[in-house]
Amino acid sequence: MNNDLIRIDFPIQSYIENNREKLDESLVSLRLMKEIDMFLDAKDISNKLLAQDLGYSESFISQLMSGVKKINTSFINKFENNYNVKFRFSIEEEKEENFISIYSMSFLDINLNVSNNKNFKTVKISPEFNLGEYTEYEDIDNNSLCKNII
């Protein structure tokens, strides 16, 4: 162990910024491969067996799993037919994380993550509220009184 090593810079941050689009394309593929990985895990199927079942080389499966190659509809079709399953696709709006921000003593912005076209709600609450407790608040957008955990 040597604590006196000179620090070496690794250009990860700049690589990511310079290759954002290509990385994002691979990440779309990896999101699908994650579903396949979980399926294989649940069914106790190895990458090697998957390759055999679908008629691909083990190296090709490894490249798909590492994001070097991207999944295509031919692969999905073979996967569905071989394992008698169906991929389900849905389009969802990208959601911000749930958060609560206090911007005055009596108003909060709450991102409820439930609405397709209006994620942000403005509510009026009691100034004495405690986070994590059931609190009554007035939904100003819908002009209604709500009670929930904040």
Partner 1 sequence: MENFYLIHECSKNKFKVYLNQSNKDLVTKFVDINRNPSVLKKFILVIEAVKIKAHNKTQYNWEMDLPIGSVYAIKVDSHRFYTLQIERLGCRELYICRYGKKESQENSKKLTSTITAIESIEIQKILCHE
Q: What residues between 58 and 97 interact with partner 1 by CB under 8 A?
A: 62, 65-68, 97
Tokens of 58: 């083990």
Number of residues located near partner 1, criterion CB under 8 A: 32
Closest approach, Cβ 9 to partner 1, in A, equals: 5
C-beta closer to partner 1: residue 72 or 122: 72
* Only segment of 34-42, 104-112, 120-128, 132-140 that touches partner 1 (CB under 8 A): 34-42
Q: Considering only CA atoms, which of 91, 88, 97, 73 is closest in space to residue 35?
A: 88
* Only segment of 23-31, 49-57, 70-78, 85-93 that touches partner 1 (CB under 8 A): 23-31
Closest approach, Cβ 70 to partner 1, in A, equals: 11
- Beta partners for 113? none
Whole-angstrom distance, CA of residue 97 vs CA of residue 94: 10
Q: What residues between 92 and 131 interact with partner 1 by CB under 8 A?
A: 97
98 by Cβ neighbours in 10 Å (0-12 / 13-18 / 19+) ranks as exposed
Give the number of other Cβ atoms within 10 Å of residue 51's Cβ.
17
- Beta partners for 1? none
Whole-angstrom distance, CA of residue 88 vs CA of residue 22: 25
Give the number of other Cβ atoms within 10 Å of residue 133's Cβ.
8
C-beta closer to partner 1: residue 68 or 102: 68
2 binds partner 1 (CB under 8 A): yes
| Footprint of partner 1 (CB under 8 A) | 1-3, 5, 7-16, 19, 23, 26-27, 30-31, 33-34, 36-37, 41, 47, 62, 65-68, 97
